[in-house]
Amino acid sequence: MEKFYPLSDIASLLQRYARGELSPTQLVERIHVEIRHDPDHVWITPLPLESLKYYATQVEAKGMTGLPLYGIPFAIKDNIDLAGVPTTAACPAFTYTPSRSATVVRRLMDAGAIPIGKTNLDQFATGLNGTRSPYGACRNAFNRDYISGGSSSGSAVAVAKGQVCFSLGTDTAGSGRVPAAFNNLIGYKPTKGWLSAHGLVPACRSLDTVSIFALTAADAARILEVSAGYDAEDIYSRQREEYNFDFGAVSHFRFAVPRRQQLQFFGNLESERLFYEAVASMHTLGGEAIEIDFEPFLEAARLLYEGPWIAERYTAIQSFFESQGDQIIAPIREIISAAKQYSAADAFKGYDQLRRIKQQADQIWQGVDCLLTPTASTIYSVQAMQQDPIRLNTHLGYYTNFMNLLDYTAVATPAGFQHNGLPFGISLVAPAHQDMPLLHLAHRLQALYSLPLGATGIALPKTHFPDVLQSSQIRIAVCGAHLSGLPLNEQLTTRQGRLITSTTTSSDYKLYALPGQPPQRPGLIRVNENERGFAIEVEIWELPARKFGSFVALIPAPLGIGTITLVNGETVQGFLCEHYAIKKATDISHFGGWRNYLQQLAHP
């Protein structure tokens, strides 16, 4: 058997398969040897070699064509079902063997991915530290004296060590993000409902989401595209919606940061240093920092464990809790026992309180595109966590517990290392359905930091963000009354339009002032080859595709939408004028743009 080399990103492994350097069967044989001795308590049920080879040969028989995840190995948190393999939720007495795989697992396998096994977790997905398991405390991939983060502990460490290319976790209070931060990974928490929760042992059913651990943001995006989709078997499933503005792919965007006095690092000066370095990195990418009041987010976070939502954890395992509560480990039993103090009236009061908080928190999105926070304030040793399990665990959720209550999406992203060699991570946060801009931004941040992948020591490859996941936004060039600050600009801004840049057309256009009632409008026309043209100033705006039709419907004749060529050769949609209208119009091309013409009218 050849030596096991840690796995890199998905694209790199697919290239090795395509070149014939490796086969899925050879790979799973090597992985099996690597993981069968597991001193760090990563795995609860690694699949037997016979099963791994069965899945590999099935994939090989189909071939690479049409299988976007051909032979890509992945791990599954052991509260997510894989057919024929026990699901324990890290509680041996709770164990059952499902006959069907969870919807998300099935979709991944249909795309060619190979399950390697079920991974360790904080029991019943209750915890952010990775020590609350009868199968042993899962150890950090960089220093086994430290916690791995939870509850999706094993899923994160398996990826960080390069044993699999990606893994599935779950995220109710931060379980898909904190382990990513502690193990130098991308931890992607999708918009709730984008990934089916059918086949998942719930923690808080209304808040749960399946999450993705990956070595790169590009990989997380690939996995999302394969696994997302509405599922009628999941009562909380929802359709993906288009995002409003791709702030992750532009040269200027606005990001919120909590006020300095609201940032909490629990004495870890290294985390504080690295966070402010991350703010500087965002500036490097074109971000503009806006300080915000973080209190509404903190107030929402407190509701998760100090409000009636704890009762939802109880209802998820109520019958088991009542009949075999002594089989639940002490910290989790203590947390869930608190549910009995809440009434139905408390639940409704809690929902009213959350509604008020969300209205306050959502106000920040009027002035910023995303929120930047640390993923976790600090990291603790396994020993310290076991000595003070509830208080220190609460510290870990300071920046994560509010997320699903407020229906936000997030990407935890690596952001450097402390002087002791342990990773630090930041989280990029946005409203529901803004996942793709966050992943774009995380992709750019990873390239800027250029950190090794996980704990493998493998350098970050130069990969492009998957083209299939690009925006369903439409870029449009405006040259007249729709320009920023002019009378018709609100037709763009009220449709969630965003200014991308100011530029000019190629130098073969003319601009005319059309006659008619205010607001006065120009007409842009492309000239013939034998005519003299000009470069005309335009603004490029981005508009959600779903809003484009209603915008175009407002455009009066003789104007319409056509294809315009910009000075850099790029083509976009834009305003053009029918030629018949210029017979009664004034040629203003020599002004170079509408604003210059208006200034001349105001100051002749």
Tens digits of residue pLDDT in 425-465: 999 999 999 999 999 999 999 999 999 999 999 999 987 77
Mean pLDDT (the chain, rounded): 94
E strand segments, 337-389: 370-374
Quote the pLDDT of residue 470: 47
Looking at the DSSP bridge assignments, the partners of residue 511 are: 524
| Arithmetic mean of pLDDT, 340-361 | 95
Quote the pLDDT of residue 469: 44
Q: What's the CA gap between 248 and 263, in Å, rounded?
A: 24
State the catalytic residues. 77, 151, 175
Q: Find the range with the poorest average confidence among 18-27, 203-212, 357-366, 521-530.
A: 521-530
Quote the pLDDT of residue 468: 44
Quote the pLDDT of residue 472: 66
Q: Find the range with the poorest average confidence among 208-217, 286-295, 496-505.
A: 496-505
| Arithmetic mean of pLDDT, 385-408 | 97
Structural domains present in the chain: 10-449 (3.90.1300.10), 473-602 (3.10.490.10)
Q: Among residues of the chain, what percentage have pLDDT more than 90?
A: 88
Quote the pLDDT of residue 251: 84
Quote the pLDDT of residue 552: 94
Quote the pLDDT of residue 75: 98
pLDDT of 223 strictly over 70: yes
Q: Among residues of the chain, what percentage have pLDDT more than 70?
A: 98
Tokens at 320, concatenated: 């088991």
- By the 10 Å C-beta count (0-12 exposed, 13-18 middle, 19+ buried), 469 is classed as middle
φ, ψ of residue 584 to 5 degrees: the values are: -110, 15
Whole-angstrom CA distances from 515 to 135, 475, 519, 523 are: 79, 28, 10, 10
For the entire predicted model, the pTM comes to 0.85
Looking at the DSSP bridge assignments, the partners of residue 564 are: 572
Tokens at 551, concatenated: 């915008």
In tens, the pLDDT along 126-179 reads: 999 999 999 999 999 999 999 999 999 999 999 999 999 999 999 999 999 999
Full 3-state SS string of 96-160: ECCCCCCHHHHHHHHCCCEEEEEECCCHHHCCCCCCCCCCCCCECCCCCCEECCCCCHHHHHHHH
Quote the pLDDT of residue 476: 94
| Arithmetic mean of pLDDT, 301-318 | 92
| Arithmetic mean of pLDDT, 340-357 | 95
513: left (phi over 0), alpha (psi -120 to 50) or beta: beta
| Arithmetic mean of pLDDT, 373-383 | 98
pLDDT of 588 strictly over 80: yes
**Residue 229 confidence class, pLDDT cut points 50, 70, 90:** very high
Q: What's the CA gap between 82 and 101, in Å, rounded?
A: 4
Quote the pLDDT of residue 517: 80
81, 87 contact by CB (below 8 A): yes
